[in-house]
Amino acid sequence: MRYKDKHQLAAEWQELLERTPLSLRQAVKILVERYCDYFADHFYSVMLEDPHASLFLSNDQVHERLNPSMRRWLNAMFAVEHVDFHALVEQQEKVGQVHARVDIPVNLVLNGARQLKQAFYQKINATLTAPLSPGDASVYVSDHIDMAMEIMSHAYSVANDRNARTEEAYKLFSLTQNIGDERERQRSALLNWENALMFAVAAQQETAMLPKLSKSEFGLWYFHKACHAFEGSPEIATISRHIRQVDHEWLAALDQNDMGQRLTALSDIRDAARTILMLLDDVLERASGLEAGRDSLTRLLNRKFLSVVLGREIEIARHSEKRFALLMVDIDHFKSINDTHGHDAGDNVLQQVASILDRSTRGGDYVFRMGGEEFLIVLVDTDQDGSRLFAERLRRAVAKEPMLATADTLLNVTVSVGVTLHDGHPDYQRAIQRADQALYQAKRGGRDRVVVKNA
């Protein structure tokens, strides 16, 4: 069932607010203004006592930012009037998405909310006096925090679901070798079934005894593994339909006395097996890397796997001293290459730059095409000097290699590079933003240069 949409949530929230008298909302607002530092500190110190939560919160950057962002959140939540409830809903959704990106478990977030409520109740009871009711104020605060939690949790689970699916796709992608083997194994399993069927028909076995495709070695692999692994690809529904047709219609048609009809059924079965093989080849081909994980022009990694790779690198960094760097690389004046020499020439240059990036990196590094003429390198196991030196070497490598834009045009191409070292913050988006800013500075500074921007 679909979750409530933004309008419903905004309307619900508005109703919640209007149920509370203005005087009470004002009193809570004053309380928030006076104690928001206390609330943020209380939240942080209680959460740090939890060893699990401290994994996510003990980073200096988090500490520094948590207090102001918590203050902003509290003030936005407990404003007396809200002009825009949609914005309030969206703000909670964003928080939920950050939680998913950082991979903070939802139970910790709920625990944090409970701690916060308790701090509120304490201050409400200590400061609110008649005619204002501390009980009513507590209900108001609690309802509001619950409303925010509901929206956050939903956004969290949607984002988390997506992460899980990407993670699975990545695993599949990284198993390309096995997919090649699997293809051969399943091909011969399908042919074995067909041979067994032909043999059984020739031996005039009863129709009920004929081997069913869905129960064959191939069928078992297909229904238990392939259907799950390739869920959603268009070929899967068609293959399933063919298997059903073979088992339920054409095997039964072999029971006919009429030789012509039996031969037609046999040839239908043979055609179905060919089609299944062809469709399977298409699915496996895609999964083996061409489209599933690699950009088709440059053969570099597709950005859709960035979250999986960075999530894993952050996890490694959390448990070791190892750091990684992000290098945002962008070809300079690429538009004018396209404009002057044509789109195909632009594509050729893109491929050659991509190949230099790929050749320059080590086995543990990752090179992504972010889109257009922008690339991202995840340089593992490095430090500040190492990442700067690497970026400089890369910049020089591109600048000194003439690129073959068309059969008779060689071009000198340069790149600008923004570099940043991951600072331990659990949200990788922040490091990407820093690398982006560094790249922007490199462009502003005249291009063909490296700019390093660390936290």
Ligand X SMILES: Nc1nc2c(ncn2[C@@H]2O[C@H](COP(=O)(O)OP(=O)(O)OP(=O)(O)O)[C@@H](O)[C@H]2O)c(=O)[nH]1
- Quick one: which segment of 90-98, 129-137, 140-148, 338-346 binds ligand X (CB under 6 A)? 338-346
Q: Which residue is nearest to ligand X (CB)?
A: 346
- Quick one: which segment of 22-30, 184-192, 336-344, 404-412 binds ligand X (CB under 6 A)? 336-344
3-state SS, residue 104: coil
Binding mask 266-305 for ligand X (x = CB under 6 A): -------------------------------x--------
Contact present, 22 and 80 (Cβ < 8 Å): yes
Q: Which CB atom, from 313 or from 332, has the smaller least distance to ligand X? A: 332
Q: Indicate which single residue of 77, 159, 331, 354 sits in contact with ligand X (rule: CB under 6 A).
A: 331
Q: Indicate which single residue of 235, 332, 436, 448 sits in contact with ligand X (rule: CB under 6 A).
A: 332
Q: Which CB atom, from 260 or from 446, has the smaller least distance to ligand X? A: 446
Is 335 a binding residue for ligand X by CB under 6 A? The answer is: yes
Look at phi and psi of residue 325 and say left if phi exceeds 0, alpha if psi is from -120 to 50, else beta: beta
- Checking DSSP bridges between strand 415-421 and strand 450-452, what pairing results, if any? parallel
Q: Indicate which single residue of 111, 153, 338, 454 sits in contact with ligand X (rule: CB under 6 A).
A: 338
Question: 238: closest CA among 192, 272, 288?
Answer: 272
Q: Shortest gap between Cβ of 160 and ligand X (angstroms)?
A: 31
Binding mask 373-412 for ligand X (x = CB under 6 A): x---------------------------------------
Binding mask 343-362 for ligand X (x = CB under 6 A): x--xx--x------------
Question: Within 286-342, where are the H helices?
Answer: 306-318, 334-341
Tokens of 35: 């104690």
Crossing angle (nearest 10°) for helices 85-102 and 134-174 = 50
Query: CB-hemisphere CA count at 13 Å for 452?
Result: 14
Q: Which CB atom, from 219 or from 346, has the smaller least distance to ligand X? A: 346
Q: Shortest gap between Cβ of 348 and ligand X (angstroms)?
A: 8
Q: Which CB atom, from 306 or from 331, has the smaller least distance to ligand X? A: 331
Tokens of 83: 């002009």
Q: Indicate which single residue of 142, 443, 454, 455 sits in contact with ligand X (rule: CB under 6 A).
A: 443
The residues that bridge with 382 in the sheet, in sequence order, are 323
Residue 50 φ then ψ, to 5°? -85, 115
Q: Indicate which single residue of 140, 173, 218, 334 sits in contact with ligand X (rule: CB under 6 A).
A: 334
Neighbours of 364 (CB within 10 A): 11
Q: Shortest gap between Cβ of 372 and ligand X (angstroms)?
A: 3
# binding residues, ligand X (CB under 6 A)? 17
Q: Shortest gap between Cβ of 414 and ligand X (angstroms)?
A: 9
Q: Indicate which single residue of 29, 65, 82, 447 sits in contact with ligand X (rule: CB under 6 A).
A: 447
Q: For residues 128 and 55, what is the distance between their CA atoms, to the nearest angstrom?
A: 37
**Interface contacts to ligand X, rule CB under 6 A:** 297, 330-336, 338, 343, 346-347, 350, 372-373, 443, 447
